[in-house]
Structure 1
Amino acid sequence: MNTNILPAIKLTLALLVLFVLAYPALLWGVGQLSEGKGKGVTIQQDGKTYYKNIGQSFQESKYFWSRPSAVDYNAAGSGASNKGPNDQEYLAAVQQRIADFLQHNPGVKASDIPVDLVTASGSGLDPHISVAAAQVQVSRIAKQRNINEAQVLALIGDNTEQPLLGLLGPEKVNVLMLNLALDRLGK
């Protein structure tokens, strides 16, 4: 028994230093190198402050709609609904989102709606939508803002973020940045 106690104490102390001091210090250091120094990226426009990296609700027809949120875009408690594809309540919510989208976007077929416009992300705070999800909303936004669809498509192109290192992940669009660009275009 004595031969096991000393190695166990050494291992406990080593892991304590590693996980209580070294790992948090490493994460803090990486955060300091990121945009916003680990505190989030804020953007100010028209006297309002927005967080670029947190999903936000846009419900007006003149804006691009965000991905639905299971936590009502509350950054204090991210999370998903944890409901599977066989859950009737979940399926009813998705069907309602499809119906709402079709009502506001006449001419779009249900089969043309990208999945990210009717299903919430794992965190409930995803600030991005796919390029296809942005493009399917172009007609509605152009009509609501009385602008040319080509201008709206150009804004999507200007605000499309490429995959990390050109390989990791899909092309995506930050909904907040796109909507702020729309507002600037209207001025």
Structure 2
Amino acid sequence: MKSLISSLRLVIVTMLICVAGYTAIILAVGQIATPDTANGHLITDSDGKIIGSRLIAQKFEQPHYFWPRPSAAGEDGYDATSAAGSNKSPTSGDLTERARQLIERYDASAEKPLPPELAAASGGGLDPHITEHAARYQAERVAKARNVSVSEIETLIGQHAFAPGGALTTGRIVNVLELNLALDSIP
């Protein structure tokens, strides 16, 4: 009986050290070394209210905002608690219908084909970025809705576009939430 109690104590102490102690140390190191990353890259307004995360897409449907990639996460999309791709087959009627609706929504045509990422959900369903090309594709609609010049919108896109892999990357991307927040600061 004495060895059973000793064994239980050892298990409890080991669990406390490995679960609580290790977690506390990693949390503390994360908060000290990279607090923005440890807290999920949150974006706040001037009052400190959390608007969103740089890492998770949000739904924007108004014409005066840039629209992100479609999302298959959750029942209505953009549900951060159920991140997932659509898992639909290329021959799926649902997938074909969704693509048709998106082509219609973006007013795409043979002369102005829709960039692929605006017609297909990402693997995780919550990708916060679109390519610079996809943002420029939407520039005319956003400029018209905001009553500003297309060149002003394209300048803003250029200011927010970046190459995620630095010099090793061939394409540039923009974070849709950050770009839309920058749009709201245009007088």
Q: TM-score w.r.t. structure 2 length?
A: 0.75
List, as ranges, runs of 4+ consecutive aligned residues in structure 1 with deviation greater than 3 Å: none
Secondary structure of the residue that 1:62 maps to in structure 2? coil
Aligned to 1:114: 115
User: CA distance change for structure 1 residues 66 and 46 in 2, over 3 Å: closer, same or farther?
Assistant: farther
1:83 aligns with 2:88: yes
Query: Which is further off, 163-172 or 175-184?
Result: 163-172
Deviation track 1:69-112 (CA, whole Å, cap 9, x = no partner) reads 0011111111011012111211111111111111xxxxx52552
Secondary structure of the residue that 1:90 maps to in structure 2? helix
Aligned to 1:146: 147
Aligned to 2:106: 101
Secondary structure of the residue that 1:162 maps to in structure 2? coil
* Per-residue deviation, 1:168: 4.2
Aligned-partner Cα distance in 1 for 2:67–2:186: 18
Secondary structure of the residue that 1:50 maps to in structure 2? strand
Contact kept, 8 Å, 1:163 with 1:169, in 2: the verdict is: no
Contact kept, 8 Å, 2:163 with 2:169, in 1: the verdict is: no
Secondary structure of the residue that 2:168 maps to in structure 1? coil
User: CA distance change for structure 1 residues 162 and 61 in 2, over 3 Å: closer, same or farther?
Assistant: same
Aligned to 2:56: 54
* Per-residue deviation, 1:170: 3.0
Aligned-residue identity in percent? 36
Aligned to 2:43: 43
Aligned-partner Cα distance in 2 for 1:66–1:46: 24
* Per-residue deviation, 1:35: 5.9
Aligned to 2:171: 170
The RMSD of aligned alpha carbons is 2.4
Deviation track 1:103-132 (CA, whole Å, cap 9, x = no partner) reads xxxxx5255210111111000100000111
2:70 is matched with which residue: 68, 71, 96?
Answer: 68
Number of residue pairs aligned between Structure 1 and Structure 2: 157
User: CA distance change for structure 1 residues 53 and 109 in 2, over 3 Å: closer, same or farther?
Assistant: same
Secondary structure of the residue that 2:40 maps to in structure 1? coil
Aligned-partner Cα distance in 2 for 1:115–1:128: 13
Aligned-partner Cα distance in 2 for 1:118–1:166: 28
Deviation track 1:23-54 (CA, whole Å, cap 9, x = no partner) reads x98xx58x935562333111123655221110
Secondary structure of the residue that 2:105 maps to in structure 1? helix
